[in-house]
Structure 1
Amino acid sequence: MTASNTPSSNPDDSETGVEGGRRRATINDIARLAGVSKKTVSRVINQSPFVRDETRERIEAVIAEWGYAPDPQARGLAFRRSFLIGMIYDNPNPQYVVNMQLGLLDGLRGSGFELVVHPCDRSSPTFLADIRAFVERQKLFGVVLPPSVSEDDRVAKLLNEIGCSYIRIASVELDKPEHMIVGHDRLGGAQAARHILSLGHRRIAFISGPATFRSSHERRGGFEDALAEAGLKLSDEDIVQGGYTFESGVACGDVLLARSPRPTAIFCGNDEMAAGVLQSARKAGLSVPGDVTVVGFDDFQIAQAVWPPLTTVRTPTREIGRMAAEKLLGVERPEPRDLTTTEPSLVVRESSGPVPA
Structure 2
Amino acid sequence: MERTGKPTINDVARIAGVSKKTVSRVINRSPLLNSDTRAKVEQVIADLGYVPNVQARALALRRNFLIGLIHDNPNAQMVMNVQAGMLEAMRDTEFELIVRPIDRGSSTMLEDVRNFLERQRLYGVMFLPPVSENEMVAELCRELGIRYVRMGSATLDSSEHMVASNDSEVVTEAVNHLIALGHRRIGLIAGPHGFRSARERRKGFENALEEAGIKLPRSLIADGNYTFETGLAAADRLLDLSPRPTAIFASNDEMAAATLHAARRRGMSVPEDLSIVGFDDTAIASHIWPPLTTVHWPIISMARSAALKLLAEFFGDDGSAVEEPSLFPSTLIHRASVAPPREG
TM-score under structure 1 normalisation?
0.85
Question: Residue 200 of structure 1: which of 171, 174, 182 is its match?
Answer: 182
Residue 17 of structure 1 corresponds to which residue in structure 2? Answer: none
The 1:52–1:235 alpha-carbon spacing in structure 2 relative to 1, beyond 3 Å, is closer
Residue 159 of structure 1 corresponds to which residue in structure 2? Answer: 141
Letter in 1 for 2:331: S
- 1:102 & 1:339 partners in 2: Cα distance? 18
Within-5 A mapping of 1:300-311: 300-311=282-293
The answer as to 2:222 corresponding to 1:240 is yes
Residue 196 of structure 2 corresponds to which residue in structure 1? Answer: 214
Letter in 1 for 2:124: G
Give a deviation string over 1:299-319, Cα, whole Å, max 9, x none: 011111211111001110000
Q: Does the 8 Å contact 2:192/2:223 carry over to 1?
A: yes
More moved, 91-100 vs 305-314 = 305-314
- 1:153 & 1:189 partners in 2: Cα distance? 26
Question: Residue 131 of structure 2: which of 137, 149, 168 is its match?
Answer: 149
Q: Percent identity?
A: 49
The answer as to 2:259 corresponding to 1:277 is yes
Q: Does the 8 Å contact 1:72/1:114 carry over to 2?
A: no
1:104 Cα deviation after fit:
0.7
Give a deviation string over 1:287-339, Cα, whole Å, max 9, x none: 11111001000101111121111100111000000110111222572659897
1:145 Cα deviation after fit:
1.0
Q: CA RMSD in A?
A: 3.1
- Give SS of 1:255's match: helix
Q: Does the 8 Å contact 1:72/1:113 carry over to 2?
A: no
The 1:281–1:60 alpha-carbon spacing in structure 2 relative to 1, beyond 3 Å, is same
- 2:25 & 2:38 partners in 1: Cα distance? 9
Residue 59 of structure 1 corresponds to which residue in structure 2? Answer: 41
The 1:70–1:289 alpha-carbon spacing in structure 2 relative to 1, beyond 3 Å, is farther
Residue 105 of structure 2 corresponds to which residue in structure 1? Answer: 123
Letter in 2 for 1:354: P
Letter in 1 for 2:72: D
The answer as to 2:85 corresponding to 1:103 is yes
Question: Residue 251 of structure 1: which of 218, 222, 233 is its match?
Answer: 233
- 1:244 & 1:135 partners in 2: Cα distance? 28
The answer as to 2:332 corresponding to 1:346 is yes
- 2:41 & 2:118 partners in 1: Cα distance? 34
- 1:274 & 1:314 partners in 2: Cα distance? 14
Residue 280 of structure 2 corresponds to which residue in structure 1? Answer: 298
The answer as to 2:318 corresponding to 1:333 is yes
Where do 5+ consecutive residues of structure 2 fail to align?
none
More moved, 39-48 vs 280-289 = 39-48
Q: Does the 8 Å contact 1:90/1:147 carry over to 2?
A: yes
- 2:108 & 2:87 partners in 1: Cα distance? 28
Where do 5+ consecutive residues of structure 1 fail to align?
14-25
1:273 Cα deviation after fit:
0.4
- 1:229 & 1:52 partners in 2: Cα distance? 52
- 1:330 & 1:271 partners in 2: Cα distance? 33
- 2:37 & 2:160 partners in 1: Cα distance? 33
1:50 Cα deviation after fit:
9.9
The 1:356–1:70 alpha-carbon spacing in structure 2 relative to 1, beyond 3 Å, is farther
Residue 266 of structure 1 corresponds to which residue in structure 2? Answer: 248
Q: How many residues were matched structurally?
A: 338
The 1:30–1:95 alpha-carbon spacing in structure 2 relative to 1, beyond 3 Å, is farther
